[in-house]
Amino acid sequence: MVQYTDAAPSLEEMTVLRPASCCCGDAIIGVEGEAEIHGICHCNDCRRRTGSAFGWSAYFRDDQIMRKTGKMLRYTISGNEPQERHFCARCGSTLFWKTSSPRLDGLTGIAGGNFVEPPLPEPKISFRSHQKCGWVTLPSDWQVR
């Protein structure tokens, strides 16, 4: 059962969980266990979401999401692959999202860079690599799709 509250706990209160927080620290999502999918994506959607050359994403099963705290707003994307992005109402950092993609059913995506203490391990997979920026070089031991 996910707990949701507007009151942001300290990171110490979430020691049992792996916390992911926004830039200002007001919005936090806490997960248990390891991500089902952990990698980077070069699609235009992920690049626009992050403002970078790729998006770093960790997808956790919905039952691994244990806590969501802080005031968050939702941005809904319509079209071929609808999704909902949840971001901090104060600083605007994207924290997590849900997508309608059948391969991601039952999973919640969380921005990999929001896991700071402790950070996530190195991702080992690259998605939509045919769309990557020409100057991006991937490690040779990564799985490329």
Structural domain includes residue 41: no
Structural domain includes residue 68: yes
What are the backbone angles phi and psi of residue 79, rounded to the nearest 5°? Answer: 120, -155
Please give the tally of structural domains in the chain.
1
Structural domain includes residue 135: no
Structural domain includes residue 143: no
**Tens digit of pLDDT for each residue in 39-55?**
999 999 899 999 999 99
Structural domain includes residue 32: yes
Structural domain includes residue 133: no
CATH code assigned at 113:
2.170.150.70
Burial class (CB in 10 A: 0-12, 13-18, 19+), 134: exposed
Structural domain includes residue 132: no
**Tens digit of pLDDT for each residue in 70-102?**
999 999 999 888 899 999 999 999 999 999 989
Structural domain includes residue 10: yes
AA identity, residue 7: A
**Full domain range(s) for residue 89:** 3-36+54-122
- The answer to whether the beta carbons of residues 112 and 38 sit under 8 Å apart is yes
Q: For Cα atoms 134, 47, 38, give the angle at the middle one, nearest 5 degrees.
A: 95
**Tens digit of pLDDT for each residue in 100-129?**
989 999 999 999 999 998 899 999 999 999
Q: Is 45 helix (H, G, I), strand (E, B) or coil?
A: helix
Is residue 7 scored above 90 in pLDDT?
A: no
Q: What percent of the chain has pLDDT over 90?
A: 79
pTM: 0.85
Residue written as token pair 């942001």: 8
